[in-house]
Amino acid sequence: MASNTIGQVIRCKAAVAWEAGKPLVIEEVEVAPPQAMEVRLKILFTSLCHTDVYFWEAKGQTPLFPRIFGHEAGGIVESVGEGVTDLKPGDHVLPVFTGECKECRHCKSEESNMCDLLRINTDRGVMLNDGKSRFSINGQPIYHFVGTSTFSEYTVVHVGCVAKINPAAPLDKVCVLSCGISTGLGATLNVAKPGKGSTVAIFGLGAVGLAAAEGARIAGASRIIGVDLNSKRFNEAKKFGVTEFVNPKDHDKPVQEVIAEMTGGGVDRSVECTGSINAMIAAYECVHDGWGVAVLFGVPNKDDAFKTHPVNVLNERTLKGTFFGNYKPRSDLPLVVEEYMNKELELEKFITHEVPFSEINKAFEHMLRGDGLRCVIRMDA
């Protein structure tokens, strides 16, 4: 990395969202140097996740604009702030929307990845160190998004939200691991933990649901039942190990009953990826009594309530939730990258589009149309 930028303000291009739902505008922004426990990254590839679109639309939360979105990405460390010891300029990294301080009770627990200091905060648009943004245009602050803001050629991130990875890993592929794909994969492999030969139901066959299906395939599940309201998704889902498809609209009984009939009493494991409260309840009620485990990670509406009869719990069905697939970002993501490098995990099939940075709005159009899975954005194009 060129060292002449260290300690200096960098002027670069960023895609700025000036207001909710309006196309992003490529602007020249100023990116301040990293402060204590921060790193400045040169982003080489970023991809669009539904979470970016959700907060860009700003229909269900407090709008915060102008803002630089983006949180799935791969890049290289340009410079580090005071106190940063485990990263140096030139390191290849994945920035992550949640973090690992390595000091709090959650980070020290083998069971949790919900860091007290750095867990996701969608309302905060500034850095923790001083409560200020590192981005500005002509002196006007531009807000950060989930501590990453990767729709910029350079960004500043807390060191605890940066995973150092194998420099041989292709950043245009592994960038998708910094959010959705790891979330789905880990929900199955780390939390549901299906055994070889087991039956698994996956609710929601978008990119994250297909990552959950991929986890079931890797685990050796014999039947992977995909549940989705869009029957067109089944053909694509076969590439990820889905063996059967159920569209709840095709049946006149609850989908959990349909699945119970298909499987002789219920599946061994289910993973819910939609955020629909009905899907959450169905995912729980479709697992087999005695040993069935349901894992939820779709984000529900704030007024939703989960309702099921207590007998379902008494009959030894287990309900679990997960956040980012139970991966600790700094400790675990480098190992997931190695699984890809060892050909144990396929990522190419999740990437259905690629656009240059100048055409970033096309990525939003693809997602709004439900066209494909992940769109990777080349920052140097």
- What tens digit of pLDDT does each residue of 13-26 get? 999 999 999 999 99
Domain interval for residue 75: 10-21+42-161+347-378
Annotated catalytic residue 134: no
Q: Which of 119, 158, 223, 288 is the catalytic position?
A: 119
Residue 256: alpha-carbon gap to chain centroid = 27
Q: Is 273 a catalytic residue?
A: no
Same domain for 204 and 296, yes or no, is yes
Is 154 found in the same domain as 210?
no
Single out the catalytic residue among 12, 101, 161, 375: 101
Residue 161 known to be catalytic: no
Same domain, 150 and 291: no
Does the residue 26 lie in any domain?
no
Residue-wise pLDDT tens digits, 181-227: 999 999 999 999 999 999 999 999 999 999 999 999 999 999 999 99
Same-domain pairing of 150 and 234:
no
For residue 269, the domain's CATH number is: 3.40.50.720
Q: Which of 51, 148, 199, 322 is catalytic?
A: 51
Residue 230: phi, psi to the nearest 5? -115, 105
The number of distinct structural domains making up the chain is 2
> What number is the average pLDDT over the span 96-102?
98
CATH number, domain of 356, equals 3.90.180.10
Pair (261, 360) in one structural domain: no
**Same domain membership, residue 202 and residue 77:** no
90 and 216 both lie in a single domain:
no
For residues 157-176, b (16+ Cβ closer than 10 Å) or e, as one string? bbbbbbbbbeeebebbbbbb
pLDDT of residue 1: 46
Do 85 and 120 lie in one domain? The reply is yes
Residue 168 domain-assigned?
no
Residue range 27-49: mean pLDDT, rounded? 98
pTM beyond cutoff 0.85: yes
pLDDT digit string, tens, across residues 319-372: 999 999 999 999 999 999 999 999 999 999 999 999 999 999 999 999 999 888
- In this structure, the answer to whether residues 16 and 155 fall within a common structural domain is yes
Q: How many residues does the chain have?
A: 381
Per-chain mean pLDDT for the chain: 96
Q: Are residues 271 and 370 in the same domain?
A: no
Is position 371 within any domain? yes
149 and 58 in one domain?
yes
Task: For residue 374, indicate whether it is catalytic.
Answer: yes
Closest CA to 215 of 202, 203, 204, 227: 202
Determine, yes or no, domain membership for 141.
Answer: yes
Shared domain for 308 and 190, answered yes or no, is yes
